[in-house]
């Protein structure tokens, strides 16, 4: 994978809004932004109600994913362009799902909704419907998904990258600072994890930094391609952003997103936790 | 409505509605709230501005989009923070030394 296959620019998107076989999809946790104005022709996916299991803590299974995409009119051969708010966090999360379920051609819109808005490009409230399809998903590709036992086993052996803010990493905050701080889990991070906040990979307008800059950032942090990497954050969406950078832009071979992330790990009984700014020892 | 908002914030990471009242579940004896309005040079409130909260080393910590009234709100910790606003009208910065409770700060973009 590379920037050419995984990412499109806002200029490219603007020129290809009506291109046959290209489907624009806005993904957000809160879809009121979509309802107030979206990219012309884009459909919406609600990260919470469409992409999460309604009862247990997991995302939609293969059958649910197939039913969702069929109903929304996305075909197996479509080029899917994902974008969203929150610096593309949830769009990156959805990108990871599309990859997990084997969609052939999926890309992120560089800069997402923020760049589109700051550039004052066209947004519309026109309703969008697409004819239903018969979408067929692949079995989930678990080479890109880490579960809790793998996260524990990775301590001191694999690259663990904690992509939350430095204050969350150190245990001074329990959630990103736009959210109330009272949370059930313990504060801190997984021992031996390095802290490379997701935001290091993005410019102010939400676009990704250049490949050279990205290589420098993760190289300086000691994340090389010789070891497998597990990325995590609080609920797995910011780490999808970093997973995208490492796997899809920089082409690292073995990168998993631990979507259980800190809300799971920080609630586990008996696992080691490190407080403070240093990675800590295994 | 309050129950729905707090359920959303507990489960997810998206920023809640910036103009909604602070949910009753938020304990101001514990939280350090940084809130204010983004205004243009003309004094007019700027809706839809992207406000970034940077820590004392300049590191990104959070980002929200202002409400139709130009309001933003963060739940931080006591200390010095920088607010950086991006908008179609231009960009602007402000710093605040926050303590526990509600801290008001305005940001002007030009």
**Predicted ipTM of the assembly:** 0.80
Residue ranges of A 219-248 with Cβ closer than 8 A to chain B: 234-235, 237-238
- Cα B16–B17–B20 angle (5° rounding)? 120
Suggest the residue from B16, B17, B52, B61 to mutate for an interface test with chain A (most A CBs closer than 10 A). B61
A93: in domain: yes
State the DSSP H helix or E strand holding residue A153, giving kind and residue range, or none if neither. helix A148-153
Q: Give the mean pLDDT of A135-145.
A: 98
For residue A234, give Cα distances in angstroms to A134, A223, A240.
Answer: 34, 20, 11
B11: in domain: no
Phi, psi of B9 (to 5 degrees): -70, -30
A133: in domain: yes
Is A28 touching B (CB cutoff 8 A)?
yes
From A118-122, A208-212, A278-282, B16-20, the region with the lowest mean pLDDT: B16-20
The domain of A233 spans 143-265
Low-confidence stretches of chain B (pLDDT < 70) are: 1-13, 25
State the DSSP H helix or E strand holding residue B9, giving kind and residue range, or none if neither. helix B2-11
For residue A73, give Cα distances in angstroms to A104, A106, A135, B104.
Answer: 16, 15, 8, 46
CA A180 to CA B74: how far, in whole Å? 8
pLDDT value at residue A137: 98
B60: in domain: yes
CB-based contacts of A96: which residues, under 8 Å, 6+ apart?
A144, A240, A243, A244, A257
Looking at per-residue pLDDT, the higher value among A187 and B11 belongs to A187
B9: in domain: no
pLDDT value at residue A278: 96
* pLDDT tens per residue, range A249-258: 999 999 999 9
B3: in domain: no
pLDDT value at residue A191: 98
How many beta carbons lie within 10 A of that of residue A175, not counting itself? 23
Strand, coil or helix: A199: helix
- Cα A225–A209–A280 angle (5° rounding)? 50
Suggest the residue from B5, B9, B11, B12 to mutate for an interface test with chain A (most A CBs closer than 10 A). B12
Q: What is the CATH number of the domain that holds A133?
A: 3.40.250.10
Provide the pLDDT confidence category of residue A127 given band limits of 50, 70 and 90: very high
pLDDT value at residue B4: 34
Number of domain units in chain A: 2
């Amino acid at each position: 994978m590379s920037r050419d296959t995984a990412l499109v620019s806002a200029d490219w998107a603007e020129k290809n809004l009506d291109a046959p076989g290209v489907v624009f999809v806005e993904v957000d946790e809160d879809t009121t932004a979509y309802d107030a104005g979206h990219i012309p022709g884009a459909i919406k996916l609600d990260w919470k109600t469409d992409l999460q299991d309604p009862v247990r803590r997991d995302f939609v299974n293969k059958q649910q994913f197939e039913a969702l995409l069929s109903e929304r009119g996305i075909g197996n051969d479509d080029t899917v362009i994902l974008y969203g708010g929150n610096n593309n966090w949830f769009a990156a999360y959805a990108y990871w799902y599309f990859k997990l379920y084997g969609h052939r051609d999926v890309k992120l819109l560089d800069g997402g909704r923020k760049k589109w808005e700051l550039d004052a490009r066209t947004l519309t409230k026109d309703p969008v419907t697409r004819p239903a399809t018969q979408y067929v998903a692949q079995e989930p590709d678990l080479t890109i998904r880490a579960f809790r036992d793998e996260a524990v086993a990775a301590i001191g052996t694999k690259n663990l990258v904690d992509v939350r803010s430095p204050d969350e990493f150190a245990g001074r905050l329990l959630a990103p600072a736009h959210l109330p701080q009272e949370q059930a889990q313990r504060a801190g991070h997984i021992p031996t994890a390095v802290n490379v906040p997701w935001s290091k990979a993005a410019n102010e307008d939400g676009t990704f930094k250049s490949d050279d800059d990205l290589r420098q950032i993760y190289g300086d942090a000691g994340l090389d391609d010789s070891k497998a990497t597990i990325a995590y954050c609080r609920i797995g969406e910011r780490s999808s952003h970093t997973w995208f950078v490492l796997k899809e832009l920089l082409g690292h071979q073995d990168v998993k997103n631990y979507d259980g992330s800190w809300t799971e790990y920080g609630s586990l009984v008996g696992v080691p936790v490190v407080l403070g700014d240093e990675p800590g020892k295994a | 409505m309050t129950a729905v908002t707090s359920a959303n914030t507990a489960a997810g990471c998206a920023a809640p509605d910036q103009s909604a009242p602070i949910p009753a579940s938020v304990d101001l004896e514990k939280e350090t709230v940084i809130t204010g309005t983004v205004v243009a040079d003309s004094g007019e409130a700027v809706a839809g501005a992207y406000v970034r909260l940077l820590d004392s080393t300049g590191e990104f910590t959070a980002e929200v989009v202002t409400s139709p009234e130009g309001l933003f709100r963060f739940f931080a910790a006591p200390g010095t923070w920088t607010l950086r606003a991006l908008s179609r009208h231009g960009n602007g910065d402000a710093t605040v030394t926050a303590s526990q409770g509600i801290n008001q700060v305005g940001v002007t973009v030009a």
